[in-house]
Structure 1
């Protein structure tokens, strides 16, 4: 493997390294969304009830959320390259186990293990991009990464439907095996080394356990609420989460290099960017989960038409995310982010005020506004989160970025369930108005960053 230069990788190696990131992250993000579409088929094949089959999705998400920050810390300790390579091996092997599962229990356990592999990939991917690209071109790397994450999240159901139209549900997981092997070969050859910090403290196991319990209980309570579980159980989970979370944060404040990087949250630019990220992903999820119910249930579109009408969102993000990556080198991230979020909020409010019998064009231009605004915001925001942290804490910053995204998405999905329970047929309109309000709030938070100095090389 070529030796890394002091500022980014030389060009042929840089292309190989970014290809590794693209394959790994698209697999990890896609597998969070891809199984939803196949749940009815998986449930009938494995003789499981629809309610219990939800664990095929939940097990993966919970495994990622509870381990993401721990893997980020290990990346800072042992090197991001090593954590990423181990993640690829685990993810590829467990994808094979998922495909070979013959019962819901074995599939759920395989999905938990696959989630740990996915968490290792997500925890250090942006930290690796900081090593792959020269500082002056880091925005481009973040643009590519934002583009892959946004498109993989939004296009998951479409890709799943395409695979299921020609193959069995097992292929949703089997397809990861050849992709994982290719990515691992690329990783061994192209990914840059980062020297492990000799001054890094030892891994704090009590912190890792408390982190897993705090975030695990939060996601379990949110998904339980979304599925209409007993309010007593959900209340008990929230109380336990608050108590453990309190002692977890208190422990982090006493550590010189905490697992939950509360010290990084003292940097105004970093904490504002994390807040913006949570609000924007919550808004995105509110819209993308509620819109299919409106398109199919209220205005009578078919599943295929619904899929096509949702496609302009990821397509607009695909166009705007790389462009925003270039613009970040010239325009303040706070300004770019605020502009993108205003465009997204406009699109969301316009969707909420759709006429009773909208034409396809009525829906499409609104979806384009949402996707373009999201794409314009996401790359500069990720760039700011990573560069606001000291270079040797890139792993912690990368983990916080992933955690913010997952918390926003989980909260958004749970809020949709609440709105359908409370507002019934009007649930989609309430969800879209809430999403627009959250995007507006995120725009205000992003605008506050303009007062902070830009991070320079």
Structure 2
């Protein structure tokens, strides 16, 4: 990271000697938050047995975190603009750390769910402003490299988290997966307060009504997506109701943002062409990624007969490829721009998904699956960092908070949309099956992969709109 601390004339942000410590602070929390999210999925069966609840009920320990985050992403990023990005980040880390302690001490599921909701509030508050922090810490010429390092940490944690989590659960009580966050959170907070100067933000009134409408919109949408998994029961009625609430509140939110002098989300940000293209590209790409992450486990387990653990390990080439591709694509984006890299990465991701959909009928060999998954990860790694750089470099500094929040929101919304589409595709394929057969069958999973590849191809087309042909001379 030596080049990250090099000072050049005209550089903005912190002095070179301060950058590495500041980056380490943000990366520590990135690791902590991602590790917590990846480990709890492994711990859910143990938590259910220990708290004497059903596994379906225990899933709320995971859902509560994501629900809290979806409801407050825009609010947290808007508070960052008004109060200062460091203040919101540190406050989020402190809340996440305290709620981790509460989760470790939980003796009942309701208490654990409540603490996990608070963890989500803190975790997503910090995540929603971390891209804006990178923009204020580093000069623009290094933004892609920094975002690439951050993506590498995320991918590395995602790949190691389930394995390390499985070992931890086998050795110590599940509460330790939360308790370990406490000392790490204290160190991260101390380092952040020492290494990054306090930014006061721009102040001004806060759009409380807009924050409430944004929370209701995303909360209802996420709950509706969750109900789609119960289409065979009474879930369809609940899902429709939640989606209606989300649509109504979303419409009111847009009207509110148009009319209030101090909106939660400055709609003028979408007048910046590069930002709007980056947003649409990200949403379409994460629809495809979200679909793949849901469809592939069903394909691996129901069609090819892999165990849940083996199915999880088959995903490992995806984050491993990102570990190599993301830092490289970030550095290249700083030199050559994001459009070509992101578009190429999306084409590779779409190719990988299509290759997975073309897998021969069972039995499929592990190497035959692994190299196709690796192509998906390679493409995603080439796409994500340059596109994230576009989010943060294409808007004025007065809109950094909104840009940072939209970066996180596009991922959350896209993945939720992907889950919605997967549920619809799989339910359509299951409609003609005999009673009692599993809803998520291999044929439906393959169809979902083709739809995912189409969504990624759409993202590539949108991304290519940023490519400008060189003028013909002569």
TM-score band w.r.t. shorter chain: over 0.9
Give the secondary-structure state (helix, strand or coil) at the position aligned to 2:465: helix
Q: 1:450 maps to which residue?
A: 467
Q: Does 1:242 align with 2:247?
A: yes
1:292 & 1:154 partners in 2: Cα distance? Answer: 15
Q: 2:217 maps to which residue?
A: 214
Q: 1:182 maps to which residue?
A: 187
Cα-to-partner distance string for 1:406-450 (whole Å, 9 max, x where unaligned): 112222234333333332331221121111111111111110122
Further displaced range: 221-230 or 63-72 = 221-230
Structure 2 residue corresponding to 1:37, chosen from 42, 55, 58: 42
Cα-to-partner distance string for 1:225-259 (whole Å, 9 max, x where unaligned): 12445322221211122112111101101234421
Further displaced range: 344-353 or 402-411 = 402-411
Q: 1:438 maps to which residue?
A: 455
**Pair 1:444–1:152, CA change in 2 (3 A):** farther
Deviation at 1:115, TM superposition (A): 0.6
TM-score normalized with structure 1 length:
0.93
2:262 & 2:122 partners in 1: Cα distance? Answer: 24
Cα-to-partner distance string for 1:293-346 (whole Å, 9 max, x where unaligned): 222332222344333321111000010000001101222311111000001110
Q: 1:421 maps to which residue?
A: 427
Contact 1:68–1:402 (CA<8 Å) still a contact in 2?
yes
Larger Rg: 2
For structure 1, the residue ranges without an aligned partner over 5 or more in a row are none
Contact 1:332–1:450 (CA<8 Å) still a contact in 2?
no
**Pair 1:417–1:34, CA change in 2 (3 A):** farther
1:252-267 superposed matches below 5 A: 252-267=257-272
Deviation at 1:39, TM superposition (A): 1.8
Cα-to-partner distance string for 1:341-382 (whole Å, 9 max, x where unaligned): 001110110011012222222112111110010000001100
For structure 2, the residue ranges without an aligned partner over 5 or more in a row are 1-6, 430-440
1:253 & 1:31 partners in 2: Cα distance? Answer: 38
Deviation at 1:34, TM superposition (A): 3.0
Contact 1:146–1:382 (CA<8 Å) still a contact in 2?
no
1:57-76 superposed matches below 5 A: 57-76=62-81
Give the secondary-structure state (helix, strand or coil) at the position aligned to 2:107: coil
Contact 1:28–1:121 (CA<8 Å) still a contact in 2?
no
Contact 2:298–2:442 (CA<8 Å) still a contact in 1?
no
Measured on the aligned residues, the alpha-carbon RMSD in Å equals 2.1
Deviation at 1:292, TM superposition (A): 2.2
Contact 2:392–2:400 (CA<8 Å) still a contact in 1?
yes
Contact 2:152–2:323 (CA<8 Å) still a contact in 1?
yes
